[in-house]
Amino acid sequence: MANDVGYEDAVRRTLWLWADRHHRDELDDGPRLKRPPVLAKGSASKNVLVPSEMSKANDIRAAIPERHRHRWFRSLKSSQALTQSVFGAIHAFDCLDLLQDVPAECGQPAFYENSRGWTLDFEHELRCLGEPRPTSVDVLASGPGKRVAVECKFTEREFGACSRPRLRPGDETWSDQYCDGSYRVQHHRRSRCALTEIGIRYWEYLPCLFDWPADYDHEPCPFGETYQLARNALAANLTPDGELDPGKGHVLVVYDARNPEFQGDGRAERQWKAVIATCRVPGLVRRLSWQRLMAAVAHTPILTYLVDGVAKKYGLEPDWP
Protein backbone atom coordinates (compact mmCIF):
# COMPACT_ATOMS: atom_id res chain seq x y z
CA MET A 1 0.00 0.00 0.00
CA ALA A 2 2.86 2.37 0.80
CA ASN A 3 4.22 1.87 -2.70
CA ASP A 4 0.79 2.64 -4.17
CA VAL A 5 0.55 5.86 -2.18
CA GLY A 6 4.08 6.89 -3.17
CA TYR A 7 3.36 6.23 -6.83
CA GLU A 8 0.07 8.10 -6.83
CA ASP A 9 1.55 11.05 -4.92
CA ALA A 10 4.39 11.29 -7.43
CA VAL A 11 1.96 11.23 -10.36
CA ARG A 12 -0.20 13.93 -8.75
CA ARG A 13 2.80 16.18 -8.15
CA THR A 14 3.85 15.84 -11.79
CA LEU A 15 0.32 16.56 -13.03
CA TRP A 16 0.00 19.63 -10.81
CA LEU A 17 3.29 21.01 -12.07
CA TRP A 18 1.96 20.64 -15.61
CA ALA A 19 -1.42 22.13 -14.70
CA ASP A 20 0.12 25.17 -12.99
CA ARG A 21 2.27 25.81 -16.04
CA HIS A 22 -0.28 25.18 -18.81
CA HIS A 23 -3.81 25.33 -17.34
CA ARG A 24 -3.74 27.78 -14.46
CA ASP A 25 -6.96 29.53 -15.54
CA GLU A 26 -8.67 26.45 -17.01
CA LEU A 27 -9.12 24.26 -13.91
CA ASP A 28 -12.27 23.57 -11.93
CA ASP A 29 -12.68 24.86 -8.37
CA GLY A 30 -11.82 21.57 -6.65
CA PRO A 31 -9.20 21.23 -3.90
CA ARG A 32 -5.55 20.48 -4.60
CA LEU A 33 -4.96 18.15 -1.63
CA LYS A 34 -4.97 14.42 -2.48
CA ARG A 35 -6.60 15.14 -5.83
CA PRO A 36 -5.28 15.41 -9.40
CA PRO A 37 -5.96 18.61 -11.33
CA VAL A 38 -9.27 18.63 -13.18
CA LEU A 39 -10.10 20.92 -16.08
CA ALA A 40 -13.26 23.02 -16.05
CA LYS A 41 -16.13 21.74 -18.18
CA GLY A 42 -15.47 24.11 -21.05
CA SER A 43 -11.79 23.15 -21.22
CA ALA A 44 -11.99 19.35 -21.49
CA SER A 45 -10.37 19.24 -24.94
CA LYS A 46 -7.26 20.90 -23.48
CA ASN A 47 -6.49 17.58 -21.76
CA VAL A 48 -5.30 16.18 -25.10
CA LEU A 49 -1.72 16.92 -26.13
CA VAL A 50 -1.65 18.40 -29.63
CA PRO A 51 0.93 20.01 -31.94
CA SER A 52 0.93 23.66 -32.98
CA GLU A 53 -0.21 22.71 -36.49
CA MET A 54 -3.93 23.44 -36.36
CA SER A 55 -5.17 20.83 -38.85
CA LYS A 56 -3.33 17.99 -37.09
CA ALA A 57 -4.44 19.29 -33.68
CA ASN A 58 -8.06 19.21 -34.82
CA ASP A 59 -7.66 15.68 -36.19
CA ILE A 60 -6.27 14.44 -32.87
CA ARG A 61 -9.01 16.14 -30.84
CA ALA A 62 -11.63 14.62 -33.14
CA ALA A 63 -10.30 11.06 -32.74
CA ILE A 64 -12.67 10.47 -29.79
CA PRO A 65 -15.97 12.37 -30.07
CA GLU A 66 -17.21 14.13 -26.95
CA ARG A 67 -20.09 11.65 -26.55
CA HIS A 68 -17.56 8.83 -26.08
CA ARG A 69 -15.52 10.55 -23.39
CA HIS A 70 -15.27 8.74 -20.07
CA ARG A 71 -16.76 10.24 -16.94
CA TRP A 72 -13.39 11.47 -15.64
CA PHE A 73 -12.00 12.64 -18.96
CA ARG A 74 -11.37 16.15 -17.58
CA SER A 75 -8.99 14.80 -14.92
CA LEU A 76 -5.38 15.22 -15.99
CA LYS A 77 -4.74 11.61 -14.97
CA SER A 78 -7.39 10.34 -17.41
CA SER A 79 -5.97 7.33 -19.26
CA GLN A 80 -8.41 8.03 -22.10
CA ALA A 81 -6.93 11.50 -22.66
CA LEU A 82 -3.44 9.98 -22.61
CA THR A 83 -4.56 7.34 -25.12
CA GLN A 84 -6.08 9.97 -27.41
CA SER A 85 -2.93 12.10 -27.22
CA VAL A 86 -0.61 9.25 -28.21
CA PHE A 87 -2.59 7.06 -30.59
CA GLY A 88 -4.49 10.06 -31.98
CA ALA A 89 -1.16 11.60 -33.00
CA ILE A 90 0.10 8.35 -34.54
CA HIS A 91 -3.13 8.22 -36.55
CA ALA A 92 -3.23 11.90 -37.53
CA PHE A 93 0.41 12.00 -38.68
CA ASP A 94 0.05 8.63 -40.46
CA CYS A 95 2.89 7.15 -38.43
CA LEU A 96 1.59 3.62 -38.00
CA ASP A 97 4.99 2.38 -39.17
CA LEU A 98 6.32 3.41 -35.73
CA LEU A 99 4.36 0.51 -34.22
CA GLN A 100 5.91 -1.96 -36.63
CA ASP A 101 8.03 -4.63 -34.92
CA VAL A 102 7.71 -3.01 -31.46
CA PRO A 103 8.19 -6.04 -29.19
CA ALA A 104 5.73 -6.84 -26.43
CA GLU A 105 7.11 -8.12 -23.13
CA CYS A 106 6.59 -11.71 -24.32
CA GLY A 107 8.87 -11.07 -27.33
CA GLN A 108 6.09 -11.23 -29.93
CA PRO A 109 5.08 -8.10 -31.87
CA ALA A 110 3.04 -5.76 -29.71
CA PHE A 111 1.10 -4.61 -32.77
CA TYR A 112 2.19 -6.04 -36.14
CA GLU A 113 5.23 -6.86 -38.25
CA ASN A 114 4.23 -4.71 -41.23
CA SER A 115 2.08 -1.55 -41.01
CA ARG A 116 0.81 -1.74 -44.59
CA GLY A 117 -3.00 -1.81 -44.65
CA TRP A 118 -3.47 -1.18 -40.90
CA THR A 119 -5.86 1.40 -39.43
CA LEU A 120 -6.77 2.64 -35.95
CA ASP A 121 -10.31 2.97 -34.61
CA PHE A 122 -11.03 4.67 -31.28
CA GLU A 123 -13.64 3.53 -28.73
CA HIS A 124 -14.62 0.74 -31.09
CA GLU A 125 -17.88 -0.97 -30.11
CA LEU A 126 -18.50 -4.67 -30.63
CA ARG A 127 -22.19 -5.22 -31.31
CA CYS A 128 -22.50 -8.97 -31.84
CA LEU A 129 -22.49 -10.19 -28.23
CA GLY A 130 -26.02 -9.21 -27.24
CA GLU A 131 -24.79 -6.76 -24.61
CA PRO A 132 -27.12 -3.95 -23.47
CA ARG A 133 -23.99 -1.78 -23.45
CA PRO A 134 -21.57 -2.94 -26.17
CA THR A 135 -17.98 -3.76 -25.34
CA SER A 136 -15.87 -0.70 -26.17
CA VAL A 137 -12.21 -1.12 -27.10
CA ASP A 138 -9.90 1.83 -26.35
CA VAL A 139 -8.10 1.44 -29.68
CA LEU A 140 -8.75 -1.27 -32.25
CA ALA A 141 -5.92 -1.75 -34.75
CA SER A 142 -7.15 -3.59 -37.85
CA GLY A 143 -5.05 -4.95 -40.67
CA PRO A 144 -5.06 -7.64 -43.33
CA GLY A 145 -6.83 -10.50 -41.56
CA LYS A 146 -5.67 -9.37 -38.10
CA ARG A 147 -6.90 -7.25 -35.19
CA VAL A 148 -5.33 -5.86 -32.02
CA ALA A 149 -7.56 -4.72 -29.17
CA VAL A 150 -5.51 -2.14 -27.25
CA GLU A 151 -6.44 -1.64 -23.59
CA CYS A 152 -4.76 1.44 -22.09
CA LYS A 153 -4.12 1.94 -18.37
CA PHE A 154 -2.33 4.65 -16.42
CA THR A 155 -2.90 4.93 -12.66
CA GLU A 156 -5.71 2.36 -12.59
CA ARG A 157 -5.21 -0.32 -9.96
CA GLU A 158 -7.01 -3.14 -11.72
CA PHE A 159 -8.77 -4.38 -14.80
CA GLY A 160 -12.54 -4.27 -14.82
CA ALA A 161 -14.27 -7.23 -13.13
CA CYS A 162 -17.81 -8.56 -13.55
CA SER A 163 -20.29 -6.33 -11.76
CA ARG A 164 -22.91 -8.98 -10.94
CA PRO A 165 -21.31 -10.10 -7.64
CA ARG A 166 -21.40 -6.44 -6.54
CA LEU A 167 -25.17 -6.12 -6.92
CA ARG A 168 -26.99 -5.48 -3.64
CA PRO A 169 -30.58 -5.86 -2.48
CA GLY A 170 -32.43 -2.81 -3.73
CA ASP A 171 -30.53 -2.67 -7.01
CA GLU A 172 -32.94 -2.89 -9.94
CA THR A 173 -31.44 -6.11 -11.34
CA TRP A 174 -30.50 -7.80 -8.07
CA SER A 175 -33.28 -10.41 -7.98
CA ASP A 176 -32.62 -11.60 -11.56
CA GLN A 177 -28.90 -11.07 -12.02
CA TYR A 178 -27.12 -11.26 -8.67
CA CYS A 179 -24.25 -13.78 -8.68
CA ASP A 180 -22.22 -14.99 -5.70
CA GLY A 181 -19.05 -15.14 -7.80
CA SER A 182 -19.32 -18.77 -8.85
CA TYR A 183 -20.20 -20.16 -12.27
CA ARG A 184 -23.19 -22.32 -11.39
CA VAL A 185 -26.96 -22.19 -11.54
CA GLN A 186 -28.20 -19.85 -8.83
CA HIS A 187 -31.57 -18.58 -7.63
CA HIS A 188 -34.31 -19.36 -10.16
CA ARG A 189 -32.06 -19.15 -13.26
CA ARG A 190 -31.49 -21.93 -15.76
CA SER A 191 -28.03 -20.76 -16.90
CA ARG A 192 -24.83 -20.92 -14.90
CA CYS A 193 -24.04 -17.29 -15.79
CA ALA A 194 -26.43 -14.46 -15.00
CA LEU A 195 -25.30 -12.74 -18.18
CA THR A 196 -26.06 -15.78 -20.32
CA GLU A 197 -29.54 -15.78 -18.80
CA ILE A 198 -30.25 -12.32 -20.23
CA GLY A 199 -28.96 -13.19 -23.70
CA ILE A 200 -25.33 -12.05 -23.55
CA ARG A 201 -23.19 -14.48 -25.56
CA TYR A 202 -19.82 -14.45 -23.77
CA TRP A 203 -19.88 -18.12 -22.83
CA GLU A 204 -20.56 -19.20 -26.41
CA TYR A 205 -17.02 -18.09 -27.23
CA LEU A 206 -14.92 -17.97 -24.05
CA PRO A 207 -14.10 -21.72 -23.99
CA CYS A 208 -12.53 -21.39 -27.45
CA LEU A 209 -10.01 -18.83 -26.18
CA PHE A 210 -9.53 -19.89 -22.55
CA ASP A 211 -9.45 -23.18 -20.68
CA TRP A 212 -12.88 -22.49 -19.19
CA PRO A 213 -15.36 -25.26 -20.12
CA ALA A 214 -18.89 -23.86 -20.22
CA ASP A 215 -20.69 -27.10 -19.41
CA TYR A 216 -19.74 -27.56 -15.77
CA ASP A 217 -19.46 -25.48 -12.60
CA HIS A 218 -16.47 -23.28 -11.70
CA GLU A 219 -15.73 -22.05 -8.19
CA PRO A 220 -14.94 -19.19 -8.42
CA CYS A 221 -16.01 -18.12 -11.91
CA PRO A 222 -12.80 -17.64 -13.94
CA PHE A 223 -14.43 -14.87 -15.98
CA GLY A 224 -15.34 -12.74 -12.96
CA GLU A 225 -11.94 -11.23 -12.19
CA THR A 226 -10.68 -11.35 -15.78
CA TYR A 227 -13.83 -9.80 -17.27
CA GLN A 228 -12.29 -6.80 -19.04
CA LEU A 229 -9.29 -8.66 -20.43
CA ALA A 230 -11.43 -11.55 -21.69
CA ARG A 231 -13.95 -9.19 -23.31
CA ASN A 232 -11.08 -7.52 -25.15
CA ALA A 233 -9.92 -10.94 -26.32
CA LEU A 234 -13.39 -11.55 -27.73
CA ALA A 235 -13.34 -8.15 -29.45
CA ALA A 236 -10.02 -8.98 -31.10
CA ASN A 237 -11.15 -12.37 -32.38
CA LEU A 238 -14.80 -11.88 -33.32
CA THR A 239 -15.84 -10.73 -36.76
CA PRO A 240 -18.58 -8.06 -36.99
CA ASP A 241 -21.14 -10.74 -37.81
CA GLY A 242 -20.29 -12.76 -34.70
CA GLU A 243 -17.97 -15.41 -36.12
CA LEU A 244 -15.07 -16.37 -33.86
CA ASP A 245 -11.70 -16.49 -35.61
CA PRO A 246 -9.17 -17.63 -32.96
CA GLY A 247 -5.60 -16.63 -33.64
CA LYS A 248 -6.55 -13.70 -35.85
CA GLY A 249 -6.32 -11.15 -33.08
CA HIS A 250 -4.77 -10.38 -29.72
CA VAL A 251 -5.11 -8.04 -26.78
CA LEU A 252 -2.38 -5.51 -26.04
CA VAL A 253 -2.33 -3.90 -22.61
CA VAL A 254 -0.42 -0.60 -22.48
CA TYR A 255 0.40 0.35 -18.88
CA ASP A 256 2.66 2.50 -16.71
CA ALA A 257 5.68 0.42 -15.70
CA ARG A 258 5.89 2.42 -12.43
CA ASN A 259 2.40 1.39 -11.31
CA PRO A 260 2.87 -1.07 -8.40
CA GLU A 261 -0.44 -2.80 -9.12
CA PHE A 262 1.12 -4.14 -12.33
CA GLN A 263 4.05 -5.62 -10.43
CA GLY A 264 4.65 -8.36 -7.88
CA ASP A 265 1.43 -9.20 -6.05
CA GLY A 266 -0.50 -6.18 -7.33
CA ARG A 267 -4.15 -6.70 -8.17
CA ALA A 268 -3.77 -5.94 -11.90
CA GLU A 269 -0.77 -8.27 -12.02
CA ARG A 270 -2.79 -11.10 -10.45
CA GLN A 271 -5.59 -10.60 -12.98
CA TRP A 272 -3.03 -10.58 -15.80
CA LYS A 273 -1.44 -13.82 -14.62
CA ALA A 274 -4.85 -15.49 -14.25
CA VAL A 275 -5.59 -14.78 -17.91
CA ILE A 276 -2.14 -15.84 -19.12
CA ALA A 277 -2.39 -19.13 -17.24
CA THR A 278 -5.60 -20.17 -19.00
CA CYS A 279 -5.08 -18.92 -22.58
CA ARG A 280 -5.65 -21.59 -25.22
CA VAL A 281 -4.26 -19.38 -28.01
CA PRO A 282 -0.51 -18.52 -27.85
CA GLY A 283 0.07 -14.77 -27.72
CA LEU A 284 -3.60 -13.98 -27.12
CA VAL A 285 -2.76 -11.33 -24.50
CA ARG A 286 0.39 -9.20 -24.64
CA ARG A 287 1.74 -6.26 -22.71
CA LEU A 288 3.77 -3.12 -23.40
CA SER A 289 4.65 -0.20 -21.14
CA TRP A 290 3.95 3.40 -22.10
CA GLN A 291 7.65 3.99 -21.52
CA ARG A 292 8.65 1.46 -24.22
CA LEU A 293 5.94 2.73 -26.56
CA MET A 294 7.19 6.32 -26.24
CA ALA A 295 10.72 5.15 -27.09
CA ALA A 296 9.31 3.85 -30.39
CA VAL A 297 7.37 7.08 -30.98
CA ALA A 298 10.53 9.10 -30.38
CA HIS A 299 12.04 7.79 -33.61
CA THR A 300 10.25 10.46 -35.66
CA PRO A 301 11.03 14.17 -35.21
CA ILE A 302 7.47 15.27 -36.04
CA LEU A 303 6.27 13.71 -32.77
CA THR A 304 8.92 15.34 -30.56
CA TYR A 305 6.21 17.57 -29.09
CA LEU A 306 4.32 14.42 -28.00
CA VAL A 307 7.31 12.63 -26.47
CA ASP A 308 8.25 15.77 -24.52
CA GLY A 309 4.65 16.42 -23.46
CA VAL A 310 4.01 12.87 -22.25
CA ALA A 311 7.25 12.94 -20.26
CA LYS A 312 6.57 16.32 -18.62
CA LYS A 313 2.82 15.95 -18.07
CA TYR A 314 2.68 12.30 -16.96
CA GLY A 315 6.28 11.51 -16.01
CA LEU A 316 6.36 8.78 -18.68
CA GLU A 317 9.94 8.96 -19.92
CA PRO A 318 10.93 6.84 -22.95
CA ASP A 319 12.53 3.54 -21.93
CA TRP A 320 15.02 2.58 -24.62
CA PRO A 321 15.45 -1.19 -25.10
Q: What letter represents residue 47's amino acid?
A: N
Least confident of 132-136, 226-230, 291-295: 132-136
Stretch 226-244: mean pLDDT: 94
- The confidence score (pLDDT) of residue 174 equals 87
Per-residue pLDDT, averaged over 245-253, amounts to: 94
Q: At what angle do helices 79-92 and 54-61 cross, to 10 degrees?
A: 130
Residues 69-120 pLDDT 10s: 999 999 999 999 999 999 999 999 999 999 998 999 999 999 999 999 999 9
Q: What is the largest CA-CA distance in the chain?
A: 62
pLDDT digits (tens, 9 = 90+) for 182-208: 999 998 899 999 999 999 999 999 999
pLDDT of residue 247: 87
Q: Write the pLDDT tens digit of every residue in 13-64.
A: 999 999 999 999 999 999 888 899 999 999 999 999 999 999 999 999 999 9
Predicted pLDDT at 2 = 43
Per-residue pLDDT, 3? 62
pLDDT of the residue at 133:
87
Q: Answer yes or no: are the C-beta atoms of 112 and 143 closer than 8 Å.
A: yes
Which pLDDT value is given to residue 135? 82
Mean pLDDT throughout 126-153? 94
Q: What does each C-alpha distance from 64 to 49, 69, 84, 124 come to in angstroms?
A: 13, 7, 7, 10
Residue 1 in this model has a pLDDT that exceeds 70: no
Nearest to 85 by CA among 110, 111, 127, 56: 56
Q: Calculate the alpha carbon distances from 7 to 72, 83, 127, 239 in Å.
A: 20, 20, 37, 39
Note the pLDDT of residue 35.
Answer: 94
Q: What 3 state SS string does the chain have?
A: CHHHHHHHHHHHHHHHHHHHHHCCCCECCCCCCCCCCEECHHHHHHHCCCCCCHHHHHHHHCCCCHHHCCCCCCECCCHHHHHHHHHHHHHHCCCHHHHECCECCCCCECCECCCCCCEEEEEEEECCCCCCCCEEEEEEEEECCEEEEEEECCCCCCCCCCCHHHCCECECCHHHHCCCCCECCCCCCCCCCHHHHCCCCHHHHHHHHECCCCCCCECCCCCCCCHHHHHHHHHHHECCCCCECCCCEEEEEEECCCCHHHCCCCHHHHHHHHHHHHECCCCCEEEEEHHHHHHHHCCCHHHHHHHHHHHHHHCCCCCCC
Confidence bin at 276 (pLDDT 50/70/90): very high
Domain ranges in the chain are: 2-161+225-314, 164-209
pLDDT > 90 in the chain, percent: 89
